[in-house]
Amino acid sequence: MRKFINLDANASYGPLPALKPSSILDSDYLNPSSIHRGGQRAKAAIELARDRVRELVGSDSALKVIFTSGATEALNLALNFPPEVARGRTIVSTTIEHPAVLAALQRFEKFGGVVRWVAPGRNWEFSEAPFLNALAEKPLLVNLMCVNNETGQLLPVAEISQALRSAGYRGLVLSDAVQAAGKLDLSFAGLGADMLALSGHKIGALPGVGALVVGNRTDLEPLVVGGPQEGRLRAGTENVPGIISFGQAAEYVRQNLAHRLARYAALRDTLEREISARFPDTIINCANTERVANTSSLTFPGVNADDLVVALDLAGIGISSGSACASGKPEPSHVLLAGGLAPATARSTVRLSFTAEAADDELAYCIEKLGDAVERLRGAA
């Protein structure tokens, strides 16, 4: 039987073949806080991994890398403003963020804060104006993601943060860089952000580890309190194997960026070209915006996206409708709605996201099975 094909890498990349299991599960590693050598070795491995993750976003040694259980926790940490700080303050954010951000901002509102939401324009574009307009309220924080998880759209983080700074903005800039890591040359300094959130398993590390990368911000409030781990910002014994795998994956995707990007582009462009040729009414969402090379958001009018997900799963291919959600409750994606898609159109939209390891014959198989499924589902409708 054919190996299951992961065309849903934006949900989870799966462990990179380049991971070194023997060093991830090294039996010498004990509690990193222990004084003895079992602790010393584990602690050193964590610090080496921290350097690798720091290098993924540039190599500024002043950057603090705080390991968390994942990007959701990293974003929650970044947005963890207690009620006395939140009250009466403003956060500016796009409407197309990950649910982790949306929920954290709802909590900010519950604590008495105000959120100014910035929606994309008609062609998904984000201009500086609405961000600058909000400056009158002296925002506490401005948040916009680097790359949207559903469409692959690249947001103008550097341009907007620069415009904000030029206009005298002195608050914080947060960016969810989960889908940017490994898909572009990520530079903390270049983005002009104060905080970036990263996820391990989205770049091929083990699941259960993420990081918040922090420039000069000293008022972070830990979500998890206890021991002094992670600079007192995240208590609890570190996820040693997860963190080591994160370091390995970060190093691998950084060192191999150029040829991986070329591979992503070849895979995606071939798929989009052939599917569009077979179904000329296919809509490629964000086709006219800058986007990362591994993600395709495709609308097949008249096809129920959830049926398409099941049909492809039965063919041994993993894709997703909207963002990953195991609840079985298909609400149309807030991202696609924000981009101006009608609910019915959003429900006919699937996301295909490649790994760089996908082989040519796997790509051909995916194109064939996707096309056949679309055809059959249209026939059945």
Partner 1 sequence: MPKATRKIVVALSGGVDSSVAALLLKQQGHELIGVSMQVWDYRNHGGCSTRATCCAPSDFMDARKVAAVLDVPYYVFDFESSFREKVIDKFVRSYQQGYTPNPCVECNNKVKFGELRARAHTLGFEQVATGHYARVEGEAGRKRLLRGIDGNKDQSYFLYGTKAAELGATIFPVGALTKPEVRELAKAAGLVTAEKAESQDICFVSGSAGEFVARIGGRRPAGQITDKSGQVLGHHDGIHNFTIGQRRGIGIGGNEEPIYVVDIDAASNQVIVGPKEELEREGFRVAETNWINPELLETLAKDGAAELSAIAQVRHRHAGVPVTLKIDQNGACSARFVSEWSTISPGQAAVFYDTANIEVLGGGTIVR
DSSP state letter for 154 = B
**Distance, CA of 279 to CA of 3 (rounded, Å):** 27
Say if CB 140 and CB 147 are below 8 A apart: no
CB of 149 to partner 1, least distance (A): 22
Q: Which is nearer to partner 1, 62 or 326 (CB)?
A: 326
CB of 305 to partner 1, least distance (A): 12
Measure the CA angle with vertex 15, ends 2 and 56; round to 5°: 140
Q: Which is nearer to partner 1, 74 or 377 (CB)?
A: 377
CB of 201 to partner 1, least distance (A): 21
Helix extents (H) in 97-199: 99-110, 129-133, 157-166, 188-191
CB of 368 to partner 1, least distance (A): 16
Q: Which is nearer to partner 1, 144 or 319 (CB)?
A: 319
Closest by CA position to 333, among listed 272, 268, 285? 285
Q: Which is nearer to partner 1, 290 or 375 (CB)?
A: 375
* Catalytic residue (one of 146, 286, 325, 366): 325
CB of 30 to partner 1, least distance (A): 33
**Distance, CA of 219 to CA of 3 (rounded, Å):** 48
DSSP state letter for 134 = G
CB of 322 to partner 1, least distance (A): 13
Binding site for partner 1 (CB under 8 A): 304, 306-307, 310-311, 313-314, 327-330, 376-377, 380-381
Q: Which is nearer to partner 1, 236 or 302 (CB)?
A: 302
Amino acid identity, position 10: N
Q: Which is nearer to partner 1, 4 or 44 (CB)?
A: 4
Burial environment of residue 234 by CB neighbours within 10 A (0 to 12, 13 to 18, 19 or more): buried
DSSP notation for 59-109: --TT-EEEEESSHHHHHHHHT---HHHHTT-EEEEESS--HHHHHHHHHHH
Let me know if 146 is a catalytic residue.
no
**Length reported for the chain:** 381
Closest by CA position to 315, among listed 380, 374, 370? 370
Beta bridge partners of residue 64, listed in sequence order: 214
**Distance, CA of 117 to CA of 110 (rounded, Å):** 16
Q: List active site positions.
A: 325
